[in-house]
A = this chain, B = another copy of it.
Amino acid sequence: MDPFDDPRLTAMGLLVEVATGLTVKAHQSFTAVGLSDVDFETLIRLARSPRQRLRMSDLAAQTSLSTSGITRVVDRLEREGLVMREACSTDRRASYAVLTEAGAERLKAVMPQHLNDIETYFTGLLTPQQLSDFLDALRIIRDVVRPCATVGVERASSEQCEGEKVS
């Protein structure tokens, strides 16, 4: 009779509701140190990339923001001194966004609270076995909905820094 109570719909709703709820919790910690959600996302992606750098377009691909969005986010972060733009030595069209020391410091400042939030509202609520299974399931889905989430990491790690180990 009611075509709108399909269990798949409920499952989908549950998933986005949880993700949104956790995002809201995290948001509060981010604003406490003067970062927006996308600021944090951008900085953490850089921090977890080889040599703390990523090309603008790779950053866009990883964050599911548009390239123009990334341009403006990096503009803002650069004004605050949290990232630096650096020219690519092999492709004059491209440029890297590089995490600065200040950017890393800012990240370190939020990290304890942020990790505590995740523990309190997510990982700590499940048993180790539950959590492990949960993450396995997430990975299965991630591999299907997001085939290229690790774009750019091999590039950044393999490319030589100018003057460093000059072949």
Contacts and interface: CB of A to CB of B under 8 A. Distances in A.
Interface in A95-151: 107-108, 111, 114-115, 118-119, 121-123, 125-126, 130-131, 133-142, 144-146, 149
A77 interface: no
Contacts of A21: 64, 141-142, 145-146
Interface residues of A, number: 54
A130 B140 CA distance: 11
A51 interface: no
Give this chain's copy count: 2
A145 to B, nearest CB: 3
Interface of A: 3-6, 8-9, 11-26, 44, 47-48, 64, 107-108, 111, 114-115, 118-119, 121-123, 125-126, 130-131, 133-142, 144-146, 149
